[in-house]
Structure 1
């Protein structure tokens, strides 16, 4: 089942918003993760994983390929129930020399009320929005770029340079998106245009293998969106900030042949995910996953024909 099929058959972004309220009581304790800050050094980079809160996603999105029995076994392991489960939003704050860099901006007020906590958590760390010098987008879905502006439309990080891949810009800023994209993607396109156009005058379009700063390189991980990228940091064997190239550290490590319901190019995303996990296991590459269990830092270890996540 593709993303387009999943949403077209009755599950809209509006439906997802409603799911948040239904799951709020069950998941309230998980929001405490926003107070945790995992900090580590990687080569010349000082990294703090700052929580943006969590999202609530339905089984139809998380496990479109799973049988009913498989869903019933996996969903509780994610901290959810038979219908929905929480997924964290882990945002790397990277200090390098005079730069203070965010990888994605989180949801702001544009997705689910349980997310959008990044700005408050940065404040608790003593970091004002004006201190951020660079923002690198893995892609322009609302839970990754929705906090580009405040609720009144002002740019949240006014002194930052912004970076997005050429392919991501070209896909989402198509002025004829209503004709060229299925209706299931129209809300996403409007959100991406809102976020990207807000910083157009300070936005740099990048290509795969291009460096943002020395040692921070763009890696193409197309599929979740046509211009999705991951960010690789040099040193200590390498660190790949995966974005949504591999969306869950339980589901897709253990079931690398399964699809994810929000992948725009499902088969491309599947191949990308499999290549990423194969490389990570072979090279013992450290990874940081956006929607993985906080703080989302660890390794892929082979287990028979699949993998298991090993926390760092």
Structure 2
């Protein structure tokens, strides 16, 4: 069931203004690296978002939500989730999972170029870009200020369902008003890589050692990726699990960011159950930098246990 978003373009304008108020603050490139067998993960910062709390979780018990955030020392009127782009060096491949927001979405995001430079990586070195989904903070960094693809030598990979959704000319007509720009921006960017895209299905090995895991709900073809071959598997989760408290303590709460809220809840609960049982590591795009940790069961739900 696609839930109408109770917001308007004014919500996004106010969101952008709140972010612009922080735009003057210096944002240093942040990265964290860790080995996984012969491969190496590096989590690169694309900055962070600024989201009104009511936009992110409009349909949950507000008093309970604010009490939970306050008890954890977090703001109770807005969220500022980190944006963590995962880079994987494996054999002769240098892989990016998502490409950040670029310069035209939100002033506090779009810092991937600085983080890559700080890590000593040139965009031309990237061999593969694997998309979890087509939202602006994951896709719009595909192009530079001249509307040219940033990663000139890369092959691109996206779920066939996700590609179909964002390239369908009718998508903009069925999107909520506040998100029509998402559809327009995705379509224009994906058109630039149409001759370089590899479309995959859940369960496929996208590149060697990288398995596509169906985590639809946030978007119709949202995909997470289980990386094998380095001891414990590592799940690059994208936005299937997005908040270090709410997603774990109340996975049954609907998220305002999910295209299909019911499917998003089912996906989140099944994924948490699998990760807790398998003790697999996770890297979450919007979990606190570097987003790396594990899922543990509690008496009532789950908790996120960040790795040291």
TM range (shorter): over 0.9
Task: Give the Cα separation in 1 of the matches to 2:145 and 2:165.
Answer: 25
**CA distance 1:79–1:292, shift in 2 (3 Å):** farther
Q: CA deviation at 1:177?
A: 2.5
Q: Summarize deviations over 1:123-165 as a string: whole Å, max 9, x none.
A: 1111111111100000010000011000110110100000111
Contact 1:80 1:86 in 2 (8 A): no
Contact 2:69 2:75 in 1 (8 A): yes
Give the paired residue count: 306
Q: Which of 255, 258, 261 does residue 266 from structure 1 map onto?
A: 261
SS at match of 2:162: helix
Q: Which of 257, 276, 281 does residue 252 from structure 2 map onto?
A: 257
Contact 1:75 1:85 in 2 (8 A): no
Task: Give the Cα separation in 2 of the matches to 1:64 and 1:7.
Answer: 9
Q: CA deviation at 1:12?
A: 4.0
Contact 2:23 2:107 in 1 (8 A): no
Partner of 1:41: 35
Structure number having the greater helix percentage:
1
Partner of 2:7: 7
Contact 2:22 2:108 in 1 (8 A): no
Partner of 2:303: 308
Partner of 2:238: 243
**CA distance 1:76–1:113, shift in 2 (3 Å):** farther
Give structure 2 stretches of 5+ with no counterpart.
none
Please tell me whether residue 111 in structure 1 is matched to residue 105 in structure 2: yes
Please tell me whether residue 204 in structure 1 is matched to residue 198 in structure 2: yes
CA RMSD of the aligned region, Å? Answer: 2.1
Partner of 1:277: 272
Contact 1:78 1:85 in 2 (8 A): no
**CA distance 1:3–1:129, shift in 2 (3 Å):** farther
**CA distance 1:58–1:180, shift in 2 (3 Å):** closer
SS at match of 1:232: strand
Q: CA deviation at 1:84?
A: 1.2
Q: CA deviation at 1:187?
A: 1.1
SS at match of 1:4: coil
Contact 1:79 1:86 in 2 (8 A): no
Contact 1:75 1:84 in 2 (8 A): no
Q: Which of 168, 171, 177 does residue 183 from structure 1 map onto?
A: 177
Task: Give the Cα separation in 2 of the matches to 1:117 and 1:40.
Answer: 21
Moved more, 267-276 or 208-217: 208-217
Give structure 1 stretches of 5+ with no counterpart.
none
Task: Give the Cα separation in 1 of the matches to 2:161 and 2:61.
Answer: 35
Q: CA deviation at 1:72?
A: 2.8
